[in-house]
Amino acid sequence: MNLPSRVRIVDVGPRDGLQNEKQPVPAEVKVELVHRLQAAGLTEIEVTSFVSPKWVPQMADNAQVMHGIHRQPGVRYSVLTPNMKGLEAALAAPREEWPDEIVVFGAASEAFSQKNINCSIAESIERFAPVVAAAKAQGIAVRGAMSCTVGCPYEGEIAPEKVGYLAGLMKGIGVARVDVADTIGVGTPRKVQAALEATLAHFAVDAVSGHFHDTYGQALSNTLAALQLGVWNHQSSIAGLGGCPYAKGATGNVATEDVVYMLHGMGIDTGIDLDALIDAGVFISQALGREPNSRVSKAVRTKRAG
């Protein structure tokens, strides 16, 4: 079986992970989390979202967080920009505080698109066209997050053709790479592979990443299924933080600690120090007043305690 020899992980914890936390997390804690992640060897971090604080109050400190980060060479810092206003806000800072990449998004489910942003899939992607063009004109990379690629809380199962349709629209507006996300965590390996194959008809394998939620305990199996197709970019969240405010019952992303442990056990290189990663997960979990949602973290810490 030809598996990738290395995997690049994007940690989405600081943004996707924290966005639904009811209790406000201070900006300095978010900055420290980013610093700990990069110190552990993460080379891609989704930092924050330039979204209206009315909708996502947790991200109201976006500019403060971007300002506070001590950037490390070789690390890519991305932010979510839901519209032109978001992009303008992200670029209102001095150039050295700009993101390296912005993330735009769309759903493979018409019902989810309507409920989430009150428009059709095609309209939602069309709205992002000027945002993508403006970002690229400033030399900023663009990633497209494709949600509900295997299942939707309103529509149920999603056909791979719909995923291919969304990927084609993303490609059409100039998005450089895409995430294939199982937003509600209902996917199983073959369904995930079908969604990825539909995407790979439009994007090269180097431009596709997996993003699996662990709602039904399938995220690591789905990660392995993606690896079998050669997909070597993967998104996960430190300490298993996060769900989606618009996807009912979606528990957290798969924990970065669990993904890294699995990959290292398979002899796949990530460039990440698992012990430092576990400590970063403990740091943010303590700030939230709970245990990390990672089995590997728990097992390693139990072993450390002797």
Residues classed as catalytic: 244
Q: CA nearest 211: which of 192, 190, 198, 191?
A: 192
Distance CA 60, CA 73 (A): 27
Distance CA 243, CA 208 (A): 21
Chain centroid to Cα 208, Å, comes to 12
Q: CA nearest 148: which of 117, 114, 201, 187?
A: 187
Distance CA 252, CA 244 (A): 8
Distance CA 95, CA 201 (A): 36
Residues 6+ apart with CB under 8 A from 21: 58, 241, 288
135 near 127, Cβ under 8 Å? no
Distance CA 128, CA 99 (A): 17
